[in-house]
Structure formats: C-alpha cells, structure tokens
Amino acid sequence: MKQFIAFIKKEFRHIMRDNRTLLIILGMPVVEILLFGFAINMEVQDIRVAFYDPTPDAFTTGITERVKQNSYFTYRGDMHSMDDMEESMRKGELDLAVVFQQNFQENLVHSGEAAIQLLSNSSDPNRGSIAVTYATAIIAGFQQEQTELMQIPFQIQAENRMIYNPLMKSSYMFVPGIMGLVLMIICTIMTSVSIVREKERGTMEVLLASPLKQGTMIFAKTIPYMVISFIDFVIILLLSYFILGVPVNGSLLLLFLVAILYITLTLSYGLTVSTLVDKQVNAVIFSAITAMIPVLMLSGMIFPVDNMPQALQAFSAIVPARWFIEAVRKVMIQGLGITMIWKEVLIMFGMTLFLLGVTIAKTKKRLE
C-alpha cells in the first residue's frame, strides 16, 4: 500500500510538472466544446428563400407567410417570372425557391390536387436537402391545418416531428461525441505513453529489479489518469450545460457510472497498447490510428452509424466510443434509464474484460 501511494504521488508529479501535457489535458475539452459549439456549426440556418406565385390566393399566401415567419428562412423577395428565379439561383443569391402552380387554390378545391415546386441549390447537398426538408414540413403543417378546418373525414396526414431535438441542434449530437473523444485521448494515449516512456528511459528496468509488483505499478499508473479524465468529463458536462444549453434529461448518477465504465475501458486499451510498443512515438501513432480516428469517423460522433455501408457498420461495433456515445445520448438527451442502455453497458464491460485479459497475458513478467 505504501509502495502504491508512493507511486501514485510520483505519477501525479510527472503530470503536474509537464506544463504542455497539463495544458492539453485540461484545455482540450474546453477548446473542443467551443470549437464544435460555435465554429463548426452543422445546423443549417439563414436559408435564403424566394417565391414565385403567378396567381396569389388564400392558400399560397398562407404557405408563403409561414415560410417567411420561420426563423430558419430568410425572405429574399417575390419573383415575377421563372427566368428571374433561375437568374437569382444561378448568381447564388438563393438557397431555395418555392414555385406555386397557376390557380393553386382553384385546382386544390376542384380536383383536390395542387402542386408546389421546391427548387433547392444543392451545390451544397446537405444544405439543399435540409432546406427542402424544412419547407416540406412547413407545407405539410399548413395542409394539415386546412384539412382540419374543412373537416374532411378520414383524411390521414403524415406528421413530421423532430423529437428529442426539436430545434435540430447539432450540439445534442456532438457533446456525447466529444466526451467519447477526449476521454479516449487522455486515457489511451496518455496512459500508454507514460508506461512506454519508462521503458524508453530505462527506469522500467530499475522498477522491474525492485520488489514493486508489476500489477501495483500498472494500477498506480492508471489512477491519476482516471482522476483527470473524470475532471475532464465534468468540465465538458458543465460547459455543454451552461454554454451550449444541452440538457441532462436522465439520471446524472447513471451518466457518471457510464463515464466511469468508459474511462476504465479506454484505460485498459491504453495498457494494452503499452504492452505492444516500445517507443513513445509509436505509442502515440498507434493510439492515434487505432483510437482517435475510429472515434472521429466511425463512432457516430460526426457521421451517423446508420448511414454507413454495412461493412463499416460492422466495424464500428468494435469501436468502444460508439457504445459510449449511444449510451450517453440515451441517458443525457433522451432521458432513458438503465433498462434501455443495458446492451451498451454490457458491450463496454465485455470489451474491458477482454482488453485487461490481453494486457495481463501480454505483460512480461521478466524482460525478454
């Protein structure tokens, strides 16, 4: 126990004296939250919209007004011909054009059918398709209102509702992602580097020749990183709650437990990496490639897992952060309880056991 405490103190000193590392460890979550929160905005806003309505009537005006009022759209005027419309579109002045059929109301009343054309500038496909989605939703809403007013029975309308994230705020998506990324970087990269550094500098030999048990040493090495990652987790949580306004809908205790499980998992991975490499540089590169890139690309932090090809979806299943991010989204954003995240918890638990097993099997009792 005395050895253990002496060793933990030593590890804390290493971290505290390395100003650059300390800055990275504590600054990274802050920078990432601010970066993703303000600089990298994945929401589509200020959709520039114009209308071409050859025969204005109650219905077309109703739809036009609703679009104008919506905060995601910026009204850019009425057009007087299709040519005008195309011209503005080509100049890049518009994101979306709404074109009504001639005699819209008349057609709707008599034949029950009327057409609206939504033209989007899809040179930015994401922006284009989201603009169309928003407009379609507004039109559907208007249509439903009218149907209710006219009291036509048995009219079934599809209803669009963005649940959990009615404002489509992307911070809801990336806050769990940043948690997954930051904890992975600190636990995996920092832990593996700190063990490999001892091998590289020769102090490992001295430790091996001492009565210090290897298990004690490794366990003592993980403690400071566990504490630091937990602090980082709390920093991210506070920043996203107070600055980005991301709610914690579920149990805070459950969220902390999920975080502790994930921290243990990523620490185990760091230990596994440290048994596989001998140089600090290699430890960084190996962890970056096997830990950081999969978190960014495959965990669902930025790109939804459901949109990936089957093969990548299967691969993403072995990325620990995927399960953590899903669990955090469920608890934090959707406010679900333990019964809804048992799958993620079990998978992460299994991964931890597997990695610890590999580490124990690969840890050399003596030098080769």
Partner 1 sequence: MSTRVIEVTDLTKKFGNFTAVDHITFDVEEGEIFGFLGANGAGKTTAMQMLCGISMPTAGAGTVAGYDIIRENELIKRNIGYMSQKFSLYEDLRVWENIRLFGGIYGLTDKVIATKTDALLERLNFREERNTMVKYLPLGWKQKLAFSVAIFHEPKIVFLDEPTGGVDPAMRRQFWEMIYEAADQGITVFVTTHYMDEAEYCNRVSIMVDGRIDALDTPAELRRQFNADSMDEVFRQLARKAKRGD
Mode of pairing for the β-strands spanning 116-120 and 96-100: antiparallel
Give the whole-angstrom CA distance, residue 36 versus residue 42: 9
DSSP summary character for residue 101: P
Binding region for partner 1 (CB under 8 A) out of 4-12, 74-82, 287-295, 354-362 = 4-12
Give the whole-angstrom CA distance, residue 157 versus residue 187: 50
Which residues, in sequence order, are CB contacts of 40 under 8 Å at separation 6+? none
Contact between residue 197 and residue 346 where contact means Cβ atoms under 8 Å apart: no
Helix (H) or strand (E) holding 174: helix 171-184
Choose between 17 and 161: whose C-beta lies nearer to partner 1: 17
Position 2 contacts partner 1 (CB under 8 A): yes
From the list 20, 91, 161, 366, which residue makes contact with partner 1 (rule: CB under 8 A)?
A: 366
Position 365 contacts partner 1 (CB under 8 A): yes
Position 18 contacts partner 1 (CB under 8 A): yes
Applying CB under 8 A, the site for partner 1 has a residue count of 26
Q: Measured from the CB of residue 96, what is the shortest distance to partner 1 in angstroms?
A: 59
Specify the amino acid at residue 87: E
| DSSP per position, 171-226 | HHHHHHHHHHHHHHIIIIIIHHHHHHHHHHHTHHHHHHTSS--HHHHHHHHHHHHH
Q: What is the gyration radius of the CA atoms in the chain, in angstroms? A: 28
User: Which one, of 135, 59, 50, 149, lies nearest residue 104 by Cα?
Assistant: 59
Residue ranges in 198-217 that form contacts with partner 1 under rule CB under 8 A:
201-203, 205-212
Q: Measured from the CB of residue 195, what is the shortest distance to partner 1 in angstroms?
A: 14
Q: Measured from the CB of residue 288, what is the shortest distance to partner 1 in angstroms?
A: 24
Position 362 contacts partner 1 (CB under 8 A): no
Q: Measured from the CB of residue 194, what is the shortest distance to partner 1 in angstroms?
A: 12
Choose between 153 and 211: whose C-beta lies nearer to partner 1: 211
Specify the amino acid at residue 215: G
Q: Measured from the CB of residue 198, what is the shortest distance to partner 1 in angstroms?
A: 9
Position 9 contacts partner 1 (CB under 8 A): yes
- The residues binding partner 1 (CB under 8 A) are 2-3, 5-7, 9-10, 13-14, 17-18, 201-203, 205-212, 365-368
